Structure 1
């Protein structure tokens, strides 16, 4: 016959309930001591983490410098051979056996210097469509009609091209037991 197991219920022990005002004051003092101990431990932990972070950053610095130098070398070669690598500008990516390089043009952006003077110039030239009702220059509208603001002092449209190197990476898989 199967034996029936008893279900045991465990309860958390009741906390020590102070019986007097002095007992309460003593518990409050203990809370303060323990709180300060926790703060000291947190300070010690943060100091230790800061030292560790600094140590690892210093150890990583030579690798960062090698990457930056290699990136500059790869970019110099690729810029010198750009037409060949991009099929005379038809593509913006070239695959090497160990990775790829990309030329990516960022979207154009509008930079304004002397915003009040630019707004005055836009109004004077009848180009108020480039001014938002809340009295700020509408950069998106300028990007849509860049020729309309040619010669307006304080407006410059710029576009930056990024050069990206992406190494191929393969993850190792766990070998199955034979």
Structure 2
């Protein structure tokens, strides 16, 4: 039985004009990449989850100039301990439970700044990549949640009608 709760968070899939997704190389695990994400409070969930996600995006990447595309209807989760990973939050939380937001980046690449939040720099490097590749670039314990993200937002890079039952278009 798990007594610790999940840490609540938001993940953000940032698509550029070429339908590539932003992916950052983690500071703490060189060679491991991930999409921007961060914790949210219960108050943020009740008031404005999208604003919380956009705040996280700005803190981690300096990205501000975006238009909203969609948000997942469901929460997805992963466990820390069950995956053999013990991050800084593992003493308090069982894992993470996240909603995901897809946005279109309207700015220029040179506007992206990984040092915006100097106290806690998340990424050491970044690039644009295909959504279909991201589950192969991340740490193993997050692979299921990234497959969820791929299935929810597959309609964006493919620019075709898709099963939108997993998302709310914004």
TM-score normalised by the chain length of structure 2: 0.18
Larger RCO: 1 or 2 (CA < 8 Å, sep 6+): 2
Query: Looking at CA atoms only, which structure, 1 or 2, has the larger radius of gyration?
Result: 1
TM-score normalised by the chain length of structure 1: 0.18
More helix, by proportion: 1
